[in-house]
Structure 1
């Protein structure tokens, strides 16, 4: 079962559940529809109540309804614009390929108006201006690209994908459209498609920093074949954790211990301990060579830190009765004297 198929099924289930909640379905039919939802989910191994699946399969902010609406509108536009005869087809093609100078001038005026509206965050009005620019000069990829940016700014990334693709169909060498397309695909959660868009753009402009950054971010979110998220070793340079004492493990432990105080149950002042220069130097060295990560994965350490965080401070006698913690304490003691 591919992830794309599961995304489609998840969107269908979301649509059916929404239809139950908003009253689209009659009360007498709700129970039958709920059974159908359960059967569909089991058949495709999709559980809408599973938070992990929800984050992975959801296409929000798009919905099945908005996706379908875009398709219908696109099909209607194509149908309404279809010429009725070969002669009219030739005339229509001639107009689309060679707008007059006056048409181009008007299109530029509409584009400038749209840009001004974008600066004011009036995205719907900006889209209307870009619509007019496209109508006057459908051969200019900039108008589609700008409209894609407006759609993305208002959260309609699916429409942005359509406009970015349209811009590239007009001019496959228009690099900015690859950035628009990659950004929209990334926002929709299709990281592989986003990476592909950024890569296509980089083939045309290898030094483009925006495309490079976008590609790194997309690649960092793509799960390897085994299904596990990227590790710090396989992640792109922008996602690797710094190998210093300021890493998440040390910082989180220090923040948690600062509020504990000292002396409880024979324990030392842990806040002062974490502020001790020698201790911090040792912790930084552990973080640099991977020792801190191993330490925080120790079950005994994890249990102790959980108790500390909940306010249940273990005594020194209790800690020293645990062989793993006693060995850890000896290591800390030897290094921190």
Structure 2
């Protein structure tokens, strides 16, 4: 049984259990469904009560329903254009007219301007119209993926990035969009794969190299897997932190991108590459200290901003007493 199959089965079981909890399934049918869930789990070797297996198979924050919704949304947007190009009523169609392409470019520029002003929903609408006029241009899908990621809808970003690649497999930027969205969803292996595919086309691309390095750092090695499974439950469930050391990894990514040293503060980038300090940080995560830190709404907000590509300034970071104390503790008081 492959891990991919088990992940799908776990997502189905999770969906069925949720349907029982939220009342989607009538009370009279719940007992029969519970028996079916047990039989499905036994047939595929999936046990939802096994915490180690849950950590390995869960696709959170995505759900089976949200993944299906993205598929339907992408198919509905692409299918009309595909049907038009293969319609027997217009066998000699050559794609969008010059006028359609020109109008689509104007809509793209409008979308780009809206992105600059962080009006992401309006930008997505402009890109929607551009795609409708010219579904053969991968840039429109790629830009819409960036807009979705900027507003935190990384699943939709994955769908658009993959569509851009389907339209033009040599469009390098789409691989970066895909890798960023997969990374933000916590699927670091898929993110690394996307960055690697992009680098095969453009080996000198600095953004793809950086993305690949960060994704590989977050992929747990075989020796780290047991430690992750033994992480205390209260640390794994910390609001805004994700699972135990995942929260530590997100904090590390944020601090790495800050550089360091300004204003007498510690060089945070060097700190997060120091094995001894990282060991201290992991111990803090296991002892529940990181969970408490990540319950701070200000820090949780900063983490969300980092994931969407909006890096807070050093002044913002150090304005929070908890994070300042953490940085000074790691820095050992050095100036």
Counterpart check, 1:117 vs 2:114? yes
Within the candidate set 190, 210, 217, 1:193 is matched to 190
Aligned partner of 2:7 in structure 1 is 7
Q: Give the Å deviation of 1:15.
A: 0.9
CA gap of 1:251–1:108, structure 2 versus 1, over 3 A, is closer
SS at match of 1:194: helix
Cα distance in 2, alignment partners of residues 158 and 118 from structure 1: 19
Q: TM (normalized to structure 1)?
A: 0.61
Cα distance in 1, alignment partners of residues 117 and 226 from structure 2: 39
Cα distance in 1, alignment partners of residues 278 and 89 from structure 2: 69
Contact 2:164 2:171 in 1 (8 A): yes
CA gap of 1:247–1:195, structure 2 versus 1, over 3 A, is closer
- Does 1 or 2 have the higher relative contact order (CA < 8 Å, sep 6+)? 2
CA gap of 1:121–1:32, structure 2 versus 1, over 3 A, is farther
Aligned partner of 1:135 in structure 2 is 132
Aligned partner of 1:24 in structure 2 is 24
Aligned partner of 1:183 in structure 2 is 180
Question: CA deviation digits over 1:197-246, x for unaligned, max 9?
Answer: 1112112322322211211222234455788489xxxxxxx9985256x5
Q: TM (normalized to structure 2)?
A: 0.62
Within the candidate set 232, 249, 266, 2:280 is matched to 249
Counterpart check, 1:55 vs 2:55? yes
Alignment of 1:1-337 (within 5 A): 1-77=1-77, 79-81=79-81, 82-83=83-84, 85-86=87-88, 88-91=90-93, 94-96=94-96, 99-100=97-98, 102-223=99-220, 228=225, 241-243=273-275, 246=277, 248-249=279-280
Which structure is larger by alpha-carbon Rg, 1 or 2? 1
Contact 1:6 1:44 in 2 (8 A): yes
CA gap of 1:23–1:35, structure 2 versus 1, over 3 A, is same
CA gap of 1:128–1:17, structure 2 versus 1, over 3 A, is same
SS at match of 1:90: coil
> How many residue pairs were aligned?
245
CA gap of 1:51–1:125, structure 2 versus 1, over 3 A, is farther
Structure 1: stretches of 5+ with no match in the other structure: 231-237, 257-337
Cα distance in 2, alignment partners of residues 250 and 201 from structure 1: 33
CA gap of 1:115–1:185, structure 2 versus 1, over 3 A, is same
Q: Give the Å deviation of 1:194.
A: 1.9
The root-mean-square deviation of aligned C-alpha atoms, in Å, is: 3.6
Q: Give the Å deviation of 1:16.
A: 0.8
